[in-house]
Chain A
Amino acid sequence: MSAQTGSAAQASRAQPVRYGSMSRSRRWALRWSYFFLVLFAAFFLLPPFYMLITSLKTSAEISAATNPWWVFSPTLENYIELLTTDQYLVFFRNSALVSLIVVTLTMVISVPAAFALSRMKFWGSATLATGVFLTYLVPETLLFIPLFKIFAEVRNLTGIELINNWWVLLILYPTLTVPFCTWIMIGYFASIPKELDEAALIDGATWMQTLTKIFIPVALPGLIAATIFAFTVSWAQFLYPLAFTTSTDQLVLPVGIVTTLIKGDVFNWGQIMTGALLGAAPPLVIYAFLMDYYIAGLTAGATKG
């Protein structure tokens, strides 16, 4: 690797003439990049922006057919209402607990599995690797009725009531997060040079040590990408919590917002938009925080590689 870098560096030093044209085309590429990024950002941010506008309006202003893109009498009423009502704080707590625990569970299950599947060939490992991914073929809409039956059997056998308890989501969400995370990790582990773990094994490291001391640090970017994925998926889930939880104190945020702010044919638009924005805030904050790690992980991986 270092030899390659060296030769590339030598090559670029050997031909200083091209350097000017490179930087000019680079400048143009940069301009185009910004131009398109602004365009896409506008598309991506338009609905959230509209949510923000709507969340600052009173219901009377929302009902009046005035300029929808402007707030004439801004109010924080919706935010105050949502942030001071106990039930929304409960939704928040449930969502946070569920997502954090599910992310942990997902990592605990998928990282060793991915390591085993990418490095330790065993009977059926190839089939299993493919099979894991195929679980997504089974849609949630197909599973919830059988799951009701299964949970009823569990209750009859053990007396544990799973339905209408938020923690039932802890065993359901991993079915949605684990397969993809396992696949991301298989991909990253596969890109790690085999010499690395072979050397470690020869030096007497156990498989577990190879995983924790070598693979996890090197694959940190992949790990963080998988974490981000798992967190977002758990945070956003709608159908399973809608089907499996009913009581207000058991609901997670998306279901809580939708089922308590829309009643029959009456929509509280201001509060729905507020709830959606507040619901998007924690993942955004976490992303902002994890992004740095993500970049750090990338540079670390690059220097090591």
Chain B
Amino acid sequence: MSQTAQASSVAVPRRTMRQWLKRPSTIAFLMTLPLILLIGLLVLYPAGYAIHLATLNKGMTRFVGFGNFEFLFGRETFWMVVKQSCIFAITAVVFKAIIGFVVAHFVHNIPSKGQRKWRGMLLVPWVIPPAMSTLAWLWLFDPSYSAFNWVLAQFGADPVPWTGDAYWARFSVILVNIWIGSPFFMIMYLAALKSVPDQLYEAALIDGANWWQRIWYITLPMMRNIIAITALFSLIVTFANFDIVRILTAGGPLDLTHVFATWSFLVGIESGDIPLGASVSLFMMPFLAIAAVIILRDVVKRGSQA
């Protein structure tokens, strides 16, 4: 009796340790630990530091609280940038989502032996590093050498000021963003389309559903999560886009194509006001965060139901 008690008292801590290690929640925690460390150290900590920067004065010597934001809210250019960023990001994401969906659908429609070739071709824009493909667009839009304008000139049309006129310039930067981003939507949707069981379509066909009803009642509901995540992700990164505007227009003409990232770079690095630049970059975060939390909660809920 006493012997066994003794033995068990030695074994208990070891067993609890082992049990603790075997507990699903512990294993789960250990599995997510690298992720937590990565994000904590390289995103959250610097982001916290950036928030701290945004509360300092220009010379980074004094705490000013929301002073930088108060200053920004009084600037005409800032509100222009807000408006333009919204136009840029929302238009681009909507078109990317539509084009991606349509193209994915068509690729899915054709016989599978030809699909590989088409997928390969349609992925090309996403594969070329954007910093370089944007340079190709810059060259296509060039005021002196525009290859598009050369074609127009062959038809006797006037040259288009691709980056010179405010509306054309906005059109151009959005177009390039759509061009780069659509293939990503396509590939995500295609993967989702493949996971919709064919039987569902066959059953719908038998029930006499037309193509539109099939998309509306089968495809879209089945793809809801992927559509939501892809669109949300794209919206966030498009709001943060830097390369395209920087290379194509550098914000011009008259700041009419500046977005958050380019303006924040101009203010922070080029004009030497790092706290203000940080504030510009931070401004959109709470709004996107709210949108993201709402969308993601929905996704998670549906995910756990499935």
Task: List residues of A whose CB falls within 8 A of some B CB.
Answer: 4-5, 8, 11-12, 15, 18, 22, 25, 29-30, 32-34, 36-37, 40-41, 43-45, 47-48, 50-51, 54, 62, 65, 67-69, 108-110, 112-113, 115-118, 120-123, 125-126, 128-143, 145-147, 149-150, 171-172, 174-175, 178-180, 182-184, 186-187, 190-191, 207-208, 221-222, 225, 228-229, 232, 235-239, 253-255, 257-258, 269, 272-273, 275-277, 279-280, 283-284, 287-288, 291-292, 295, 298, 301, 305
Contacts A50-B136, A116-B32, A298-B194 given; does A130 touch B122 at CB 8 Å:
no
B49 touches A135 (CB 8 A): no
* Cα-based distance from A295 to B190 in the complex (angstroms): 11
B147 touches A50 (CB 8 A): yes
* Cα-based distance from A50 to B125 in the complex (angstroms): 13
| Contacts A/B (CB < 8 Å), 14 sampled | A18-B205, A30-B110, A68-B147, A115-B31, A120-B31, A122-B24, A134-B293, A135-B39, A142-B282, A187-B229, A190-B306, A232-B126, A232-B127, A284-B127
* Cα-based distance from A191 to B125 in the complex (angstroms): 30
Query: Is the CB of B130 closer than 8 A to any CB of chain A?
Result: yes
Query: Is the CB of B28 closer than 8 A to any CB of chain A?
Result: yes
Looking at chain A's contact residues, the main secondary structure is helix
B159 to chain A, nearest CB (A): 12
**Beta-carbon nearest neighbor of B176 in chain A:** A47
Query: Is the CB of B137 closer than 8 A to any CB of chain A?
Result: yes
* Cα-based distance from A36 to B221 in the complex (angstroms): 24
Contacts A44-B179, A126-B300, A284-B120 given; does A143 touch B50 at CB 8 Å:
yes
Which one of A25, A47, A229 has the greatest number of beta carbons of chain B within 10 Å? A47
A130 touches B135 (CB 8 A): no
Contacts A40-B122, A142-B281 given; does A182 touch B35 at CB 8 Å:
yes
B102-130 residues with Cβ-Cβ distance < 8 A to A are 102-103, 105-107, 109-112, 116, 118-130
Give every chain B residue within 8 A of A12 (Cβ-Cβ): 202, 206
Give every chain A residue within 8 A of B239 (Cβ-Cβ): 139
Query: Is the CB of B242 closer than 8 A to any CB of chain A?
Result: yes
A279 touches B50 (CB 8 A): no
B40 to chain A, nearest CB (A): 10
**Beta-carbon nearest neighbor of A149 in chain B:** B49
Query: Is the CB of B94 closer than 8 A to any CB of chain A?
Result: no
Give every chain B residue within 8 A of A288 (Cβ-Cβ): 116, 120
Contacts A65-B145, A283-B127 given; does A141 touch B136 at CB 8 Å:
no
Q: Mark B133-144, 1 if CB is under 8 A from A, else 0.
A: 101110110001
A280 touches B128 (CB 8 A): yes
* Cα-based distance from A3 to B267 in the complex (angstroms): 64
Give every chain B residue within 8 A of A141 (Cβ-Cβ): 240, 242, 260-261, 264-265, 277, 281
